[in-house]
Amino acid sequence: MTIFHDVPVTGFSGNELDRADEIRRDPAALIAMRARPDARWLVLDGLNPVVRPGDNPTILWAYRSDVPHDALSIFLGVGPDGPRFAAAAPSDELVADFGGKLLDARAAGALLPAREAAIVAQARSIIDWHQRHGFCAVCGGKTELSKAGYARSCIACKAEHFPRVDPVVIMLAVKDGHALIGRQPRFPKGFLSALAGFVEPGESLEEAVRRELWEEAGIETGRVLYLASQPWPFPSSLMIAAFAEAEGFEVRLDEDELEEVRWVTKDEARAALAGTGDFLAPPPLAIAHTLLRSWVDED
């Protein structure tokens, strides 16, 4: 396998905000940031962002007065245009009064500039985590937001809880100019993608890649080569893309996980990526697209 020298660009990455950890830990500094005239809020309604539609869609950055005072609000960071926050709040007024549009987060990720899609990923993952963690895993007591949204503190036992990211390996087994792709039962007919699975406790990334390929397709693999990673805010995963050298072509399908697997050539994958192949390839937003694109373009 060739080592890729250029770092691929993946969807939901490219966040240019300074996350300013020193502000998160300073309540007075945070209050000052919220009060600045250039402070703005990304509104998420049902975990979906409000955007400003048009030929060049952008996030609709709301003023503090447009966000209910009791809304769940987190600090995102500081950008060239000022402090940026996110809030879980209704979108009706922003849509009616400011021409905003509520978009599914996946659709927004595909339409927004990369740096803004990355901000949506950051906001969605953290707000979703807060909405799921209202009670302490230690004592069962109620928790409250702390550190500007990057922690929750138990009111009863004072335990601190922090947002977690779930690592997921996504990989292509490759051999002699072929790559293995597959389709889960929930995927549309004709859609094929890289195989993937969660990293388990006490497991390295390389071990997870080899285990998943063995469990899902019966493929034994040797060397594993890391390619790139991608934040995936559904709800909060980190997709870790890799190639693995397969030791053979024979597959043994786990029908609970996959409905179909197929070895494809670079020409077949290249045609699918161009929209002219005999299977549907992952869209550019997905790191599976990056995997296939990097494989067909390698030296």
User: Phi, psi at residue 293, to the nearest 5°?
Assistant: -60, -45
**Residue 1 above 80 pLDDT?**
no
In this model, does residue 90 exceed pLDDT 70? yes
DSSP per-residue letters across 74-128: EEEEEETTEEEEEEE---HHHHHHH--EE--HHHHHHHS-HHHHHHHHHHHHHHH
For tokens 């996504």, name the residue.
170
Average pLDDT over residues 30-56: 97
Residue 298 pLDDT exceeds 90: no
Give all domains of the chain, ordered by start, each with its CATH number.
Answer: 21-132 (3.90.79), 166-297 (3.90.79.10)
Q: What is the mean pLDDT of residues 149-170?
A: 98
pTM above 0.85, yes or no: yes
166-185 as b/e: b if 16+ CB within 10 A: eebbbbbbbbeebbbbbbee
- Kindly tell me if the per-residue pLDDT of 3 is higher than 60: no
**Do residues 55 and 11 make contact, with C-beta atoms less than 8 angstroms apart?**
no
* Exposed e or buried b per residue across 17-56, where buried means at least 16 C-beta atoms within 10 angstroms of its C-beta: beebeebbeeeeebeebeeeeebbbbbbbebbbbbbeeee
